[in-house]
Structure 1
Amino acid sequence: MASCVTELITSCSNIMLSVTALHSSYRLFKDHRAPAVGLFLLGLSAALCIFPPSSSYFTSIQREAEWAGEVLAPALVSFDFLWLSEDRNTAHILLCGSCLLLGLCDWISADALTLLTRCLGLSSLSCCLTVCLFASNALGAFGGVALSLPLLMAPSIETNTFVTHISPAANEGLTKWLLKGSMSLGCWASTQALSKFLLDVTDQCHIGI
């Protein structure tokens, strides 16, 4: 019974995240290609995780796709904030770091991968928060935190007792639902924030002219 509840919660959370991320990607694609790609990959990985694992190989693919989506989505959203604020060097460094982590993930230990993943998550978040702070874009800051939260918190949450009065399996499902819900909110908030930030930048350029 607990396993059925866990599968149901996990599937519903993945459906919610997939729909939200793919819709946000569609809305962003015209003016914000980098975050559109990141949210598209996030939506695809969530869609892949909807299906129950049928083999260890398929489970491995689901976990890798889920991890890649969680890494790239906040990084590419932060990349666009940096790019629009004309901090192109930092944007390129963040993008190269994300690509290097994805390329080297099979060559480093699990502990090193966890550490590097958290470092990249913190870097993406700090870049997003810095730009949004100076631009007074509170929605962008909220979106950055919501998108980065699973990347920073998931490894530690899985080892703790999050809700003590339910079984560990249901607890794991509830935790994943909360983190997926956080990313869904992050997709929506980042979409609104990027559109607003682009308008602000465009208005400033017109005033300067």
Structure 2
Amino acid sequence: MTSKSGEDWGTALSHLVLGVVSLHAAVCTAQASRGAAAGFLLQAVSSATMLVPGLGTDEDCLAGAWVATVISLPLLAFDFHWMNGDRSSANLLLGGGMVLAVAGDHLGSEGRSVAGQAVVLVVSVTILIVAVFTANTYGMWGGAMLGAAGLLSRLEEDRLLLLPKEDICRWALAAGSWAYCRALHIQHLQWE
């Protein structure tokens, strides 16, 4: 029983940390980047809803978390690309996320899982590419951490480093979100 209770606390803590980091990032980026702030806010709300007892297993809540993933991450990447003049990639990422969000009911649970992981990987790779070309170190770290979360979610194992795989993915997303918030701040300062 202690092991299950410890896992519940670890899962709740990972949701809480991701929610707090995302909310802080939303507040910090609201003036400079409204799209990214909305993406961070969606991550925070999605993570917070998973903390409500009994709601984290509800099908509507899980579908909402998936929609938040396919919309929030493209919103984060949108401003990063837009500020660097890559408007076609920005629009393509955001439009693709919106289409996936609308088409979610037709994909089934496995299709949503694959599409969500693909969104995480595509967003992280595009952020990483832009960050390398603009020499934005925080952007590189943010893209790498988002990519790590996407790759870890594809692993077959349920546990990594003695922790549930989903918890480690949330920790990586929290670290990536923090680094990405810093990257947006630096990019905004350079843009002014």
After TM superposition, the score normalised by the length of structure 1 is 0.82
Equivalent residue runs for 1:180-195 within 5 Å: 180-195=170-185
- Match status 1:40 vs 2:74: no
Q: Measured at CA, do residues 144 and 107 of structure 1 come closer, stay the same or move farther in structure 2, by a change above 3 Å?
A: same
Report the RMSD for the aligned CA atoms in angstroms.
2.2
Q: In the TM superposition, what whole-angstrom CA distance separates every residue of 1:94-124 from its partner, at most 9, and x where no partner exists?
A: 1000000011010123343333333322321
For the residue of structure 2 that corresponds to 1:30, the secondary structure is coil
Q: Measured at CA, do residues 146 and 74 of structure 1 come closer, stay the same or move farther in structure 2, by a change above 3 Å?
A: farther
Equivalent residue runs for 1:47-62 within 5 Å: 47-53=48-54, 59-62=58-61
- Match status 1:177 vs 2:171: no
Q: Residue type of the partner of 1:89?
A: S
**Among the aligned pairs, what percent are the same residue?**
24
C-alpha separation in 2, matches of 1:67 and 1:152: 17
- Match status 1:5 vs 2:6: yes
Equivalent residue runs for 1:135-154 within 5 Å: 135-154=134-153
- Match status 1:91 vs 2:90: yes
For the residue of structure 1 that corresponds to 2:105, the secondary structure is coil
C-alpha separation in 2, matches of 1:61 and 1:113: 13
- Match status 1:197 vs 2:187: yes
**1:15: Cα distance to partner?**
1.1
After TM superposition, the score normalised by the length of structure 2 is 0.88
- Match status 1:160 vs 2:150: no
Contact in 2 for aligned 1:13/1:177 (Cα 8 Å): yes
Larger Rg: 1
For the residue of structure 2 that corresponds to 1:109, the secondary structure is helix
Gaps of 5+ in 1: 203-209
